């Protein structure tokens, strides 16, 4: 079977840079899904994505789907021929659908009757015939929040499309996609190469664009930018600050990257470092430069999409743009410091946090109570109340209004400027940590108290108004808040009664809803489930179910129980004891509601039940002490010693005896044993 490279390209108006990589990956995934569904053999796929194009090459794509054997059963023999032996319409229609005459259809006989049948080979469809519908479906399924129309047509796409290339090897696949006929012509750089590029085959695509000043491969273009920016910074003795997010965005903005160094006035270096970086990096998409001693330089590097004959003018243009931005930042810095943070905080009542949950002043009051509760238990010190009072004050500053990403950071600077203690200043910045997965955590106890209090208040408040996340929608970032709480507590080994904290947070909300704390607790446990299973340390979903069934009061407590359970399940007796607990749980479900919970040794009849009671009574003090000390592994190890008397009990004792007193006493014994195991985890939830 002949195989050739498949090329597909859409030439568009400038695509949204933040969505470019996602669009390219989704397009490749959708097309591969279509090829696989059609059983068309193929090799690896290469994605291409620039500001003006989405494309891919599928290596060694077969020209057709493989032939397949077809077995079909037609109408019953009795309905296939009339009394004269002539074929009925049913038989004729079946034969036509199989492409043969009725006389060529064999008869299949079974104990249920006889039928006409067909066995044959179905020729695989041509890839070229399948591609148009496949590509249309792939394009329609792209994750695009907004689509647009252009011209007089009704076609919709992320941006207006100007050209479509579809080649299988050197063969043009004729079709129409998004209202445009596919061809073999594309265009290079918008300014450096205005002539059309006629592609002879799929393999000539990347090299043809490179000659036309387009680096089509996103990853290659990113590497070119990284190395070019780094080299240019090194020429001046500095180091470029190249964040992955900025690098990806710049890569999505240019097809032919040309790094150019620029400068701004040294006086702006008097601004906080983060303000300069935010201005240069986040607003202008420039790369800041750090000097050898780690201090910020007054240089930056921009990446142009054109190789100018006069780079000085490009440099001057970028310098001219950044100057007023930095001037504004300097003005905000001066103006904000004319008021104290307390004065800024006094205006928080004018800003709504959430319509039903009140203003930011209301939220600050709740955080103050929660942070005090947390701080008392983790040793956060006497500054908790003051830190909580000032925590949200910088939201009212002009600087944060212009640079929202600097909330907390500016609070730290303004607090330091008015002489607040260093620990408090640090906590104001740490309250928002972690901001994303893998981000750093608050280091100070004060920062940890503020951060957990803020996140818990948001989490419980949003559950109170029944706005929990649904699907991919999480406008209040509750999943991130829950993961942040878990990481702070687990990675800093902080023991905190989360159940009590959530209940306190629910009592402070302006909207009273009894289930809010419980729902928030379950939500956090589900995030913990994801964290634990990602570690691949041997924990199974059933183990988590067993631990969650006992409602651990803290993430550390849940983690300790899981550790003990994993160790217990490695013991030789674990499977038998887990099965016994499942049996006990089922028996207890049948217990009458008025059954006495007290074990009365005088009511035992058989030696097996007396022996089990004695063995349990002998272990109970040590088990109770281990549970109190949260030595769950030791408690389960001790309880594993009950295996032999439990086995003997179930082999010789009929629990559901006809005598009510005997029956209830045996159930009380099993209930006591089950309670000891369940004090660590509900073993009846485990398989087996």
- Please write the tens of the pLDDT for every residue from 203-240: 999 999 999 999 999 999 999 999 999 999 999 899 99
Q: Nearest 5 degrees, angle CA 502-CA 507-CA 512?
A: 110
Condensed to tens digits (0 to 9), the pLDDT of residues 514-529 reads 899 999 999 999 999 9
What pLDDT shows up at residue 688? Answer: 62
Mean pLDDT, the chain, rounded, equals: 92
Residue 1 has pLDDT above 70, yes or no: no
Whether the CB-CB separation of 221 and 257 falls below 8 Å is answered with yes
Q: Nearest 5 degrees, angle CA 139-CA 141-CA 145?
A: 100
Task: Give the dihedral sign, CA 303/309/313/317.
Answer: negative
Of all helices (H) and strands (E), which one includes residue 297?
strand 296-304
- Cα-flanking dihedrals φ and ψ of residue 286, to 5°? -100, 160
- Cα gap 438→153, rounded to integer Å: 46
Condensed to tens digits (0 to 9), the pLDDT of residues 464-508 reads 999 988 877 888 999 999 999 999 999 999 999 999 999 999 999
Q: What is the DSSP letter of 539?
A: -
Whether the CB-CB separation of 242 and 46 falls below 8 Å is answered with no
Annotated domain spans of the chain: 3-65+126-211, 68-122, 218-336, 343-536, 565-685
β-bridge pairing 287-290 and 239-240:
antiparallel
What pLDDT shows up at residue 594? Answer: 64
What pLDDT shows up at residue 256? Answer: 97
- Cα gap 106→118, rounded to integer Å: 7
**Residue bearing the bigger pLDDT, 595 or 352:** 352
In this structure, which topology does domain 3-65+126-211 adopt according to CATH? Alpha-Beta Plaits (3.30.70)
Condensed to tens digits (0 to 9), the pLDDT of residues 27-43 reads 999 999 999 999 899 99
Burial tier of 675 (Cβ tally within 10 Å: 0-12, 13-18, 19+)? exposed
Q: Identify which of 212, 199, 222, 211 has the alpha carbon closest to the alpha carbon of residue 6.
A: 199
What pLDDT shows up at residue 168? Answer: 95
Residue 595 has pLDDT above 70, yes or no: no
Q: Identify which of 554, 560, 558 has the alpha carbon closest to the alpha carbon of residue 545.
A: 558
Of all helices (H) and strands (E), which one includes residue 624?
helix 607-628
> Residue 71: pLDDT band by 50, 70, 90 thresholds?
confident
What pLDDT shows up at residue 50? Answer: 97
Per-residue tokens: 604: 């035992």
Burial tier of 382 (Cβ tally within 10 Å: 0-12, 13-18, 19+)? exposed
Burial tier of 286 (Cβ tally within 10 Å: 0-12, 13-18, 19+)? buried
Helix axes 555-568, 541-548, angle to 10 degrees: 120
Q: List the CATH code of the domain at 565-685.
A: 1.10.730
Per-residue tokens: 93: 């229609």
Residue 119 has pLDDT above 90, yes or no: no
Sequence-ordered alpha helix ranges (H) in 307-346: 311-336, 341-345
Question: What does the DSSP assignment read for 386-436?
Answer: HHHHHTTGGGGSHHHHH-GGGTTHHHHHHHHHTT--HHHHHHHHHTT---S
Q: What is the DSSP letter of 261?
A: E
Whether the CB-CB separation of 664 and 524 falls below 8 Å is answered with no
For the question of whether the overall pTM of this predicted structure is more than 0.95, the answer is no
- Cα gap 543→533, rounded to integer Å: 11
In this structure, which topology does domain 343-536 adopt according to CATH? Hypothetical protein af1432 (1.10.3210)
């Amino acid at each position: 079977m002949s195989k050739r490279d498949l090329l597909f390209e859409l030439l568009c108006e400038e695509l949204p840079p933040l969505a470019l990589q996602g669009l390219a990956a989704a397009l490749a995934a959708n097309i591969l899904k279509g090829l696989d569904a059609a059983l068309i053999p193929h090799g690896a796929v290469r994605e291409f994505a620039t500001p003006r194009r989405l494309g891919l090459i599928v290596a060694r794509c077969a020209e057709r789907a493989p032939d397949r054997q077809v077995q079909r059963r037609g109408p019953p023999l009795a309905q296939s021929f009339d009394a004269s032996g002539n074929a009925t319409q049913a038989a004729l229609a079946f034969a036509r659908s199989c492409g043969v005459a009725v006389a060529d259809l064999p008869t299949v006989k079974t104990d249920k009757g006889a039928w006409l049948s067909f066995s044959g080979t179905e020729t695989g469809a041509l890839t070229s015939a399948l591609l148009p519908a496949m590509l249309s479906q792939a394009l329609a399924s792209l994750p695009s929040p907004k689509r647009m129309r252009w011209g007089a047509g009704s076609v919709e796409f992320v941006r207006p499309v100007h050209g479509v290339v579809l080649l299988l090897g050197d063969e043009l696949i004729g079709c129409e996609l998004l209202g445009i006929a596919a061809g073999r012509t594309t265009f290079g750089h918008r300014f450096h190469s205005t002539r059309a590029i006629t592609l002879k085959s799929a393999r000539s695509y990347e090299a043809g664009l490179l000659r036309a000043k387009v680096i089509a491969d996103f990853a290659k273009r990113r590497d070119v930018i990284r190395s070019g920016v780094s080299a240019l910074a090194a020429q001046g003795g500095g180091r470029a600050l190249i964040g992955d997010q900025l690098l990806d965005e710049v890569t999505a903005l240019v097809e032919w990257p040309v790094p150019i160094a620029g400068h701004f006035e040294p006086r702006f270096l008097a601004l906080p470092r983060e303000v300069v970086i935010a201005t240069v990096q986040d607003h202008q998409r420039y790369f800041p430069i750090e000097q050898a001693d780690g201090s910020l330089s007054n240089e930056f590097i921009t990446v142009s999409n054109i190789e100018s004959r006069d780079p000085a003018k490009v440099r001057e243009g970028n310098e001219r743009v950044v100057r007023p931005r930095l001037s504004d930042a300097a003005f905000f810095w001066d103006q904000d410091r004319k008021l104290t943070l307390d004065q800024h905080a006094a205006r928080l009542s004018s800003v709504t946090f959430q319509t039903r949950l009140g203003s930011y002043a209301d939220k600050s009051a709740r955080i103050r109570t929660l942070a005090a509760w947390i701080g008392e238990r983790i040793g956060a010190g006497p500054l908790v109340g003051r830190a909580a009072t000032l925590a949200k004050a910088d939201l009212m500053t002009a600087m944060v209004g212009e640079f929202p990403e600097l909330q907390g950071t500016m609070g730290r600077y303004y607090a330091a400027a008015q002489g607040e203690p260093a620990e408090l200043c640090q906590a104001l910045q740490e309250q928002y940590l972690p901001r994303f997965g893998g981000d750093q955590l608050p280091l100070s106890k004060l920062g940890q108290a503020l951060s957990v209090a803020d996140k818990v208040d948001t989490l419980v408040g949003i559950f109170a108004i029944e706005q929990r996340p649904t699907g991919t929608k999480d406008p209040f970032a509750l999943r991130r808040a829950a993961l942040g709480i878990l990481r702070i507590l687990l990675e800093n080994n902080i023991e905190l009664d989360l159940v009590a904290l959530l209940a306190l947070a629910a009592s402070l909300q302006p909207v009273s809803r009894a289930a809010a704390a419980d729902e928030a607790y379950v939500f956090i446990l589900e995030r913990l489930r994801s964290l634990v299973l990602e570690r691949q340390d041997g924990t199974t979903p059933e183990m988590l179910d067993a631990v969650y069934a006992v409602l651990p009061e803290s993430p550390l407590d849940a983690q300790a129980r899981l550790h003990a359970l994993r160790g217990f399940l490695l013991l030789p007796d674990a499977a038998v004891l887990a099965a016994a607990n499942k049996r006990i749980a089922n028996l207890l479900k049948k217990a009458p509601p008025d059954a006495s919970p007290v074990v009365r040794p005088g009511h035992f009849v058989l030696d097996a039940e007396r022996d089990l009671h004695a063995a349990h009574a002998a272990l109970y003090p040590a088990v109770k002490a281990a549970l109190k000390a949260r030595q769950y592994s030791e408690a389960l190890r001790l309880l594993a010693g009950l295996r032999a008397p439990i086995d003997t009990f179930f082999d010789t004792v009929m629990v559901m005896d006809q005598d009510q007193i005997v029956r209830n006493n045996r159930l009380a014994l099993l209930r006591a044993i089950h309670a000891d195991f369940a004090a660590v985890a509900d073993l009846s939830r485990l398989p087996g």
